[in-house]
């Protein structure tokens, strides 16, 4: 009957998003300009608040 509740689904999504952000933060330090643009695109698909995150990471966008 129960299954996974909406709260647990959202917590799982948040944890996954946080892991991805940490991965991108590590990769951005050594990335070239084109790789940074690719990471920015991935961040935009990952979350609606990506603009603030991209600015915080210091990625120059077009």
Top pLDDT among 60 and 27 is at: 27
13 belongs to a structural domain: yes
1 belongs to a structural domain: no
Residue 61 and residue 54 in contact, taking contact as beta carbons nearer than 8 Å: yes
Look at residue 13 and tell me whether its pLDDT is greater than 80: yes
CA dist list (Å): 40 to 14, 19, 26: 19, 16, 14
Give the closest residue to 28 by CA, choosing from 18, 20, 19, 39.
Answer: 39
Cα–Cα distance measured from residue 2 to residue 56, given in angstroms and rounded to the nearest whole number: 40
Containing structural domain, residue 30:
6-57
Based on the structure, what is the number of domains in the chain?
Answer: 1
What's this model's pTM, rounded to 2 decimal places?
A: 0.74
Averaged confidence pLDDT in the chain: 88
62 belongs to a structural domain: no
Rg (CA), the chain: 14
């Amino acid at each position: 009957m129960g299954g996974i509740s909406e709260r647990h689904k959202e917590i799982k999504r948040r944890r996954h998003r946080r892991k991805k952000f940490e991965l991108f933060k590590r990769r951005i330090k050594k990335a070239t300009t084109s790789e940074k643009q690719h990471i920015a695109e991935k961040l935009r698909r990952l979350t609606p608040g990506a603009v603030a995150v991209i600015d915080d990471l210091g990625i120059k966008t077009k």
